[in-house]
Structure 1
């Protein structure tokens, strides 16, 4: 488990600035059908926790993508900004939004919804692999704490 770090980022057109004060440095991949439809491939993302500032707010559009989550994007350039859990307000954000210094120890650790991953690609990295059922079971056990 990585120690939390502060990250700053921007969208493609620079209309939205992002500040995160407790991001993990683990990059994870989501292969679910929604992420692949949203971005054309797997989502490579960082768990940014709940301490996230996006400014200005009027440049951010939010879409209720499921009963439990929302997706946010820049209303000017369409950059994907976040996947946010409604109940906890936890932000999962595309790693490409951030300037990650070479000195930061970032690792690729987990792939989720591997049961939905199409056969036409694979990552060479050795990671933890979780099916959708395993992901939901893990979240349910965390919610019960």
Structure 2
């Protein structure tokens, strides 16, 4: 099965550090008032999650050929991960409540 289809982990990228080509082939699904998800209109692969208030996108890590060359900088929603999914390393980790509290402290509101 193609690793690009599911991709496993997501890689958060924001601002101008990301250049997207072929965006016209993406189908966008508005999953909530504050988020959208995109998938490939040709094969159905997950492409990204976009947090609309900031425009920040999280991409499926499996999309990138060199994903293994990049270090994990932060892990979020660790309390919601599958029991079999443990990532080794000394990087910051946040629970879902911590992530939501941080976003709310920055002025984002969730229903």
TM-score, normalised relative to structure 2:
0.72
User: How far does residue 52 in structure 1 lie from its aligned partner after superposition?
Assistant: 4.1
User: How far does residue 131 in structure 1 lie from its aligned partner after superposition?
Assistant: 0.7
User: How far does residue 69 in structure 1 lie from its aligned partner after superposition?
Assistant: 0.8
Size of the aligned set, in residue pairs, is: 104
Question: Residue 133 and residue 98 in structure 1: after superposition, are their counterparts in 2 closer, same or farther (change >3 A)?
Answer: same
- Residue 53 of structure 1 corresponds to 20
CA distance in 2 between counterparts of 1:101 and 1:124 reads 16
Question: Residue 115 and residue 56 in structure 1: after superposition, are their counterparts in 2 closer, same or farther (change >3 A)?
Answer: closer
**Structure 1 stretches of 5 or more lacking a match?**
1-11, 13-38
User: How far does residue 118 in structure 1 lie from its aligned partner after superposition?
Assistant: 2.4
Partner SS, residue 83 of structure 2: coil
More strand by share: 1
8 Å contact from structure 1 (residues 46, 95) kept in 2: no
CA distance in 1 between counterparts of 2:42 and 2:73 reads 32
User: How far does residue 116 in structure 1 lie from its aligned partner after superposition?
Assistant: 1.0
More helix by share: 2
- Residue 127 of structure 1 corresponds to 91
Partner SS, residue 109 of structure 1: coil
* 2:10 aligns with one of 7, 27, 44: 44
Per-residue CA deviation, residues 14-72 of structure 1 (Å, 9 max, x unaligned), is xxxxxxxxxxxxxxxxxxxxxxxxx4x85231323365434251x11011223311110
**Structure 2 stretches of 5 or more lacking a match?**
none
Question: Residue 96 and residue 49 in structure 1: after superposition, are their counterparts in 2 closer, same or farther (change >3 A)?
Answer: farther
8 Å contact from structure 1 (residues 49, 92) kept in 2: no
Question: Residue 108 and residue 75 in structure 1: after superposition, are their counterparts in 2 closer, same or farther (change >3 A)?
Answer: same
